[in-house]
Amino acid sequence: MLLSITVVENFSVRVLMVHNVFALALLYVGDTILLIQRSAQVDFGKGLYSLVGGKVEQGERALQAIKREVYEETGLDIPESDFEFVHALYRKGTETDFVAFCFKADISRLPAPYVKEPDKHDDMQFFTMDQVPNAMLSAHKQVLECIARSVYYSEHGW
């Protein structure tokens, strides 16, 4: 989903801002969190670990998106009501800025997750917060650090 503000001046149209909207999931069991490793074949973040998630599609709510993304990436079917909002990130990217909404969900009573999109992801593992790999998307690492400190909003790349 793109958020934009369009202004019409003197019969010309210009877009002031274009933002992608993302939904991210902090999936946890006890004191461990699930991170997924991006494939070496993807365009962005090759080989880096990240939170589960992706773009919110046109006409989709953030909770619908995170439910869909979690299922597409891990095979876990989590009800929307099990997700709890924990953080919003406003990131300045190289090509576009984006806003990401992060939700957490306890997956301890669910079947084991698995890499459901092997063309996009090479691995997934559980980590404690002090074991989070250095090879991780920096914005996602920032989100985890903020969640650990109960900070609900942050900015990255500005």
Residue 53: other Cβ atoms inside 10 A: 25
CB 147 within 8 Å of CB 86: yes
Q: Tens digit of pLDDT for each residue in 73-104?
A: 999 999 999 999 999 999 987 777 889 999 99
Fold type of domain 2-156: Nucleoside Triphosphate Pyrophosphohydrolase (3.90.79)
Question: What is the distance, to the nearest Å, from the Cα of residue 94 to the centroid of all Cα atoms in its chain?
Answer: 17
- Please tell me whether residue 70 adopts helix, strand or coil conformation: helix
Per-residue model confidence (pLDDT) at position 5: 47
C-alpha span between 134 and 131 (Å, rounded): 9
Which residue in 67, 153, 70 sits closest to 114, CA to CA?
70
Does the pTM surpass 0.75? The reply is: yes
Q: Tens digit of pLDDT for each residue in 104-117?
A: 999 999 999 999 99
Question: What is the distance, to the nearest Å, from the Cα of residue 57 to the centroid of all Cα atoms in its chain?
Answer: 13
C-alpha span between 6 and 1 (Å, rounded): 16
Q: 7: burial class by Cβ within 10 Å (0-12, 13-18, 19+)? A: exposed
Q: Tens digit of pLDDT for each residue in 125-136?
A: 999 999 999 999
